[in-house]
Structure 1
Amino acid sequence: MTTLDTAPSRLSWLTSEAPSGAFQSAAQQFYAGWRRFARHPLGLLGLGLIVLLVLVAIAAPLLTSYDPTIQDMGERLTPPSATHWLGTDEFGRDVFARIVFGARTTLYIIALVTVLVAPIGLLIGACAGYFGGWTDEVLMRITDIFLSFPSLVLALGFAAALGPGITNAVIAISLTAWPPMARLARAETLSLKRADFIAAVRLQGATPARIITRHILPICLPSVIVRVTLNMAGVILTAAGLGFLGLGAQPPLPEWGAMVSSGREFMLDSPWVVASPGIAIALVSLAFNLAGDALRDVLDPRGDS
């Protein structure tokens, strides 16, 4: 009776400790990864700039009292001063306010592109690598068609066909950004599907859909995350290019590429109109590149421990 009475209590103790042990293991892995990431000063610099971008976007109304869309022709092309830290543009709008609120537009594009690109590229590459045969041929030939064009040119074509607007720009960028993810996921899947644990799961009766979603995709995810992070610089530059050509965010919405486009006529006499958004684009692109390089070293299983 004693054994029977104590068995449930022991079982309940084990089940209650399991989530705690899993959380502790995840925390240890995160801490070890953070220590490896912290070995890269440039990676920390990039991460700091990304965090600063997020904070600026969140606190934009608190950082400036100017509305980025209100025009004041009496303050047209005013140089930087204590009143307007980065001067004003050709419509008298505060450049600093437009830079700060433009960070929201940049983050919006980054977030939507990431949400669309990562799952699509990951799923297409995993299916092509796992099934092989005609499935691989069809999916990879479609991928090759997209890769055969420069991403900016292809995004420009899609954006022109869909029409100007930030949503259409996100769709156009996403259509050009998924092929590298698919290629990477396919390469990872080709090496995984011959692994012993995949064969064991297959012998247990697991369906291909379960094998791909439960066993292959989680292993491919770190490599895709690194690739997405490194591609963010290209996404930002492409978005700025579309905005520069008038196919991205439309006025009066503040967007860094559109700011460069509208201010290029005044760049000789009023260089701050172009320099400020140009520096913002360069810094954010550099930040994602630096953070992506460090993240690649952290998530590379073949790296130093």
Structure 2
Amino acid sequence: MTNPSDMRGTDDAAALQVETDHRANSVLEGMPPSEAEPPEGDVRSLESIGRGELLRRRFLRNPGALIGMVVVLLLILGAIFAPMAYQYEPFERDLRNALTGPSQYHWFGVDENGYDIFARTMVGLRISLVIGAGTALLTTVLALIVGTVAGYVSYKGRWGAFVDGALVNLINLFLVIPSLLLLMLFSPVLQQASWLWLIPLLAVFSWMLTARVLRAMTQQLVRTEYVEASRFMGVNPVTTIVRHIIPNIASWIIIDTTLGVSAAILGETGLSFIGFGIQYPNVSLGTVLQAYNIAAPWTWIPPAMVLAALVISVNLMGEALRDALDPTSGSSRV
């Protein structure tokens, strides 16, 4: 707080400028710019840089981020446009060339059922991308709702502790449920339905660990002065969570969502590989790998490489994003 007895007028301000400005002070005038003023790349030159621009610089400085973005972009473009331009359909048979290797007509070869592997891989990649992104977003939404509510109400007396305990027990219950067995149980029921039902099924059994982390982070933020002031002023709890809590944990949420895409893709691929995921007349990377022949490497190496490239590139982007958002990492230097 300003001391009333220490108020300064305009004359004092002008004298202070003369003392500190090297252009108006004869003593500082002869000093080199590096000693009289901060260098161009110092803090003063960064005042005009917004947070978004700062994160973009940190993110693009990481070589893994560039590699991941290029690979993901190429795979997305291939999944969208390759099935349109390719001459074979995913379920079009060519029995005369069954179990033949890559050629100018069949780029990835043909499996023993006469299906073109490249056509099935690109269509399967499209479905796997949709399931991975949709599952990651839905998982984040579920974890965000449960985690922030549990952490916010935990300090609201007896009823708050009761709600927090109920939500924690719900998380623990879903953690001990054998999710794979339940997914296999529901699979025959949903075989006649749309493959999009796999997104909520995977998300229902994937949100628990994220919710526990968000609950712990929310409990720390509830103790801060601005959140307590908001509560004492009678602000709606939903407004407080949206305005003060979620923005402070948004960085971790973005990172977790990005890494959750690859986890969802692997989960869907595993279910489809054992026959409990994507079913005919649709195809995914898991169903392509399901028709492998160990004696014919072209039946499983190309789709496996596409899957590995997708998962690794998404993880590279997630790691680079984490380093960009983490102020303690080496990439935080501008």
By the TM > 0.5 criterion, same fold? Answer: yes
Match of 2:241 in 1: 212
Distance 1:158 1:51 in 2: 31
Q: What percentage of aligned pairs have identical amino acids? A: 33
Matches within 5 A, 1:56-75: 56-75=78-97
1:235 aligns with 2:258: no
Of 272, 276, 285 in structure 1, the residue corresponding to residue 298 of structure 2 is 272
Post-superposition Cα deviations, 1:22-75, rounded to whole Å, max 9, x if no partner, equal xxx998322211211122212321222222222122213344221112122222
Does 211-220 or 189-198 show the bigger shift?
211-220
Match of 2:287 in 1: 258
Matches within 5 A, 1:36-51: 36-51=58-73
Conservation of the 8 A alpha-carbon contact between 2:187 and 2:277: no
For residues 232 and 111 of structure 1, do their structure 2 counterparts lie closer, same or farther at Cα, with a shift above 3 Å needed? closer
1:135 aligns with 2:163: yes
For residues 188 and 243 of structure 1, do their structure 2 counterparts lie closer, same or farther at Cα, with a shift above 3 Å needed? same
Post-superposition Cα deviations, 1:193-236, rounded to whole Å, max 9, x if no partner, equal 11111122223220212211222123222211211212222211
Conservation of the 8 A alpha-carbon contact between 2:137 and 2:257: no
Distance 2:263 2:134 in 1: 15
Match of 2:199 in 1: 170
The one-letter code sitting in structure 1 at the alignment partner of 2:301 is A
Q: Where does the alignment leave 5 or more consecutive residues of structure 1 unmatched? A: 1-24
Cα RMSD between the aligned structures? Answer: 2.1
Three-state SS of the structure 2 residue aligned to 1:59 is helix
Match of 1:288 in 2: 314
For residues 89 and 33 of structure 1, do their structure 2 counterparts lie closer, same or farther at Cα, with a shift above 3 Å needed? same
Q: Where does the alignment leave 5 or more consecutive residues of structure 2 unmatched? A: 1-46, 155-160
Three-state SS of the structure 2 residue aligned to 1:30 is helix
1:161 aligns with 2:183: no
Aligned residues: 275
Three-state SS of the structure 2 residue aligned to 1:177 is coil
Conservation of the 8 A alpha-carbon contact between 1:184 and 1:224: no
1:298 aligns with 2:324: yes
The one-letter code sitting in structure 2 at the alignment partner of 1:84 is H
The one-letter code sitting in structure 2 at the alignment partner of 1:285 is V
For residues 73 and 252 of structure 1, do their structure 2 counterparts lie closer, same or farther at Cα, with a shift above 3 Å needed? farther
Three-state SS of the structure 1 residue aligned to 2:261 is helix
Post-superposition Cα deviations, 1:67-96, rounded to whole Å, max 9, x if no partner, equal 112122222112111111110122222111
Shift of 1:157: 2.1
Distance 2:109 2:301 in 1: 11
The one-letter code sitting in structure 1 at the alignment partner of 2:216 is A
Conservation of the 8 A alpha-carbon contact between 1:102 and 1:254: yes
Distance 1:27 1:51 in 2: 28
Match of 1:17 in 2: none
TM-score, normalised with respect to structure 2: 0.76
Conservation of the 8 A alpha-carbon contact between 2:183 and 2:276: no
For residues 301 and 289 of structure 1, do their structure 2 counterparts lie closer, same or farther at Cα, with a shift above 3 Å needed? same
Shift of 1:160: 2.1
More helix by share: 1
The one-letter code sitting in structure 1 at the alignment partner of 2:143 is G
Distance 1:160 1:167 in 2: 17
Does 281-290 or 121-130 show the bigger shift?
281-290
Shift of 1:301: 4.4
Match of 2:146 in 1: 124
1:190 aligns with 2:219: yes
Shift of 1:136: 1.7
Match of 1:202 in 2: 231
Distance 1:44 1:155 in 2: 35
